[in-house]
Amino acid sequence: MSRIKDLYLCKNIDDLEKKSEIPDVRDRKMKIRLIRLLETARKLIAEAEKHDLLGDEEMAYVFYTKYFSLLNIIYKKKDYNESKPMIRQMLGDNRSNKMTMDRLEMLTKSLNERYDRLHAKTLPQITKVNLNASINQERSRSNSPKVIEGNGLPSSLRLMSSQELYESMKTLKVLIMDCRPAEDYKSSHLNYSLAFNVPQELIQYGMSAGKLQDKLDPESKKLWSARAIKDQVVLMDWSCSDPNPPEGSAIAVLLNILQNWDPDVTYRSPIKILEGGYEYFKMVYPFMCTNPMVQAPSTPQNNMNLIDDIEYPSVFDIQMKDEILSTTNTATSPIRPIIDRSSKMAAIQTYKEKEKAIDEIVKEQEVLLEKAQENDEELQKVAKQWNRIYEKKQLDPADQEILYKMMQLESVAEDYKLDNIRLREELEEYKRREQESATRLPQQTQEVVEKTKEIEAKIEERLRRDEQLEREKEQRAIQLAIARENKKMFQTRQMEKQQAEQEQLDREPSPTPPPPAAPEVIPTKPSVPQFDRSVKPQLTAHNQQQQPQRPQSPNIYALQERKRDFSPVRGSVPLMFDSIVVLVIMIIAGVKIQLPATTTYRYKSPFRPVKKGRGLTGLKNLGNTCYMNSILQCLSNTPQLAEYCITDKYKNYISRNNKTKGQIVEEVAALIKVLWNGNYKCVASKDLRYVIGQYQKMFRGIEQQDSHEFLTILMDWLHSDLQTLTVPEYPREPMTASDKAWLDFTKAKESLILHLFYGQIKSIVKCTTCDQESATYECFSNLSLELPENNNICQLSQCLDMYFSGERISGWNCPACKQKRDAIKKLNISKLPPVLVIHLKRFYADTDSLSPTYKKKQNYLRFPLENLNMSPYITISESRRSTSKSYELYAVSNHYGSMESGHYTAFCKSGTYNKWFKFDDQMVTPQDESTVVSSAAYILFYTRLAPSQYIMESNSSRL
């Protein structure tokens, strides 16, 4: 921000308030004035922020105040609830406005201090003498030192003694606001006509004076309105004697509202606080109280620990899910800027902006058509190979790779199709703006029209090509279904044949039995389990309780000592693009090159070989284990976890007292070490798969499983295997509800997995009748988000908005109303994990079909590679933490195909090379960053940690 400018506009805050007044538009209809009011509000906040950055506090104050005055008018409109989605879209939510209010409060405080300092320099000498005498008189009242505020006045002057209040009450020129609880006020209060109750239950952070007034009863509203005409306003509670009441107390919040959020009223004198509160006043002047024998509560009325628990003062502050769906599932055109067309220069500038827009569409279309054509050619080649093999009864690994390749190319083709449709919609929007334009430049407009027609022609041509590809895809789907049926029939006949042969052997007379020998233990072949997605484990429950009892298995220490079978394949890992370029240049230049077969080189600078391959090792497919390979590669490319395993730090924290006895983390660590040694093209995860199969049957067979389910169970296993870090003792002060829930979940034992991947959700239920709020806390290792129903293309922010929006529930037992009420449930994140894993619910149950089946949503989800901001979805307490709220993508688990036949891959950004790679079972290839976002994305891995930050931000000394 620039240097703060000198005061020049006004002499005090009151004068600034007058400059901040806006015309009264409350008698206008909402539907007529809404767009204009919102546009005006946006301009006001933009001007305020501009002057704030320039250091002009006075002008920033004026525009901020005008903004909130206009906002208050909008909120009071009858049609406000119907227009909330549009208002939030243009002006932001309550949280962003709260940040703006905080900034205005800081400006108010700063300006008050500066005005007071300015006046202190120009006060006559006699005034200074009188002021000093007043200060000395105040100091003589008590031996305790008084706090001196920034304006040069002692804060004790804010207090009013009981005697002073009694004398002022005789003149009927003092208004008294009693902010004790309503029940306490009814039991005893001042016997004074200008005293009224502002119940403690109604006073909440984030309220304006107008909003608080709306909640008062009719009689109190009349007295509230007198605050502008009385000489003095005095606040009191039970016992406050502090001129600066504790932050969060009812009297402090009320004082803040009256001083900073009451723009319509100019107080005749500074607001005072009754010293000693009602408890001391009734002792001195009992005849002025309705019941002087009442006793003050023995416990404090203001629980400071509960202030952060109140996330939403009113149910109207909660954004509802149906509001988001109404804007998500309908095509809403963006609000167009108002253009001044009164001058020719403005018209020319507008044209130039449009010409730039049409040129951008042209360039984007050229790139899209080129990439789509390349994908078409590759798809045609693979489709020809598929046509030659699909009738085979058994597909060998090479045939299976052809099938997987075809699924991926079909998915990419679908993404290009959606991009082409998006371009058509953008072009239609552009044409619509052109038709509404009042100014025409004939020659230039003709050029734009020709470009538009050319783009339209190419779009339509590409759409016809996409329709042809869709028909071919449907034909291949039929072939695939036939192939699957043939395979089942072939396997059935094979099993029947084996059974018949066995029965034949059983009918033959058995030969003379040989002498008895030592029995040989033959491991039984595990049966192929059927995967039922309807019993998928809950994300937030600790899966240790859901896991079956561990069967008898070999001794764990013997398992450690035996040599693991990774079946490694030696060879070169993929060369980087710049390495290939350098090698080509060297060959053209006649430089002789000879590279060892098992070593890969990359040239960072010309003629300088560097060994490569760390973290770029593939994983063999052991029979539909691509789901497992995808997740393991994502975890292997989590730098903090990889470093923990490679350096053997994990060995110091293995727990042998859990069900898995530390075996899971040992096998995962051993595999990650091999993936990062840089010596192999691919390896097999046989030992890890065997151990996992001992504890979960579904991962034992050769059937395809769900990568999200595997990840959720694996996370709990790894946490359990490393859950040995003792949590330090909490202080004796009461813990927050969030900390207590976290301690209950961890059982006072934590792990690196917990510190990296686990967060906490706060679930809020709020009564629609009395605004009573109840909160519970639950831990999670990943967020599972719904995808919009009717959108082919959607944004990750839309999915997050839906997940963290409010939902209506009925029959909730309200603890305040003591009966069943309608309520609103809302989720927020109370603890953000350093590594945020987001699962997209692509698979859903099709209830329309005769038999229960699962289908897949093919939404093309747009998600950011950098700067995923989670600030809108966190609690107030979490927002106050100093940790970053912005995340960067580093891995994606992809799913191609359908429920019947699918394939998993992983896109991972290597921290070593700072480039993206595609992990497709045993194949690892460089990946263009522009292709990371696709409709195949299934699980997203984000991190807020720097690559060099290998240990958790907190508790690092214990790790």
Which residues form the catalytic set?
Answer: 626, 903
What gap in Å lies between CA 252 and CA 258, rounded to an integer?
A: 10
The 3-state DSSP class for residue 314 equals coil
Neighbours of 607 (CB within 10 A): 9
Sign of CA dihedral 726, 727, 729, 734: negative
DSSP codes of every residue in 636-690: HT-HHHHHHHHTTGGGGG--SSSTTTTHHHHHHHHHHHHHTSS-EEEE--HHHHH
103 exposed, middle or buried (CB, 10 Å; 0-12, 13-18, 19+)? middle
What gap in Å lies between CA 886 and CA 879, rounded to an integer?
A: 12
Which helix (H) or strand (E) segment is 350 a member of?
helix 344-389
Return the biggest CA–CA distance within the chain: 129
Please state the separation of Cα 461 from the chain's center in Å. 40
For 371: left if phi > 0, alpha if psi spans -120 to 50, otherwise beta; the answer is alpha
Alpha helix positions (H), 390-441 = 397-436
Which helix (H) or strand (E) segment is 187 a member of?
helix 182-187
What gap in Å lies between CA 731 and CA 505, rounded to an integer?
A: 74
What gap in Å lies between CA 515 and CA 505, rounded to an integer?
A: 21
- Determine contact, residues 832/878, Cβ cutoff 8 Å: yes
**What number of helices (H) and strands (E) belong to the chain?**
27, 28
> In which residue are the tokens 């507008």 written?
350
What gap in Å lies between CA 598 and CA 238, rounded to an integer?
A: 81
Q: Shortest CA distance to 204 belongs to which of 224, 179, 240?
A: 179
Q: Shortest CA distance to 154 belongs to which of 174, 122, 132?
A: 132
B/e letters for 435-452, b = 16+ CB within 10 Å, e = fewer, are: eebeeeeeeebeebeeeb
- Determine contact, residues 116/151, Cβ cutoff 8 Å: yes
Written as one letter, the residue type at 398 is A
- Report residue 823 as tokens: 């309520």
Which helix (H) or strand (E) segment is 132 a member of?
helix 125-139
- Report residue 860 as tokens: 């093309």
What gap in Å lies between CA 169 and CA 179, rounded to an integer?
A: 18
DSSP codes of every residue in 529-572: PPP-GGGPPPSSS-GGGTSPPPPP---HHHHHHSPP----EE-P
- Determine contact, residues 544/716, Cβ cutoff 8 Å: yes
Please state the separation of Cα 577 from the chain's center in Å. 35
What gap in Å lies between CA 834 and CA 945, rounded to an integer?
A: 6
What gap in Å lies between CA 585 and CA 595, rounded to an integer?
A: 16
Strands (E) located in 162-312: 174-178, 195-197, 232-236, 272-274
For 281: left if phi > 0, alpha if psi spans -120 to 50, otherwise beta; the answer is alpha
Sign of CA dihedral 689, 695, 696, 697: positive
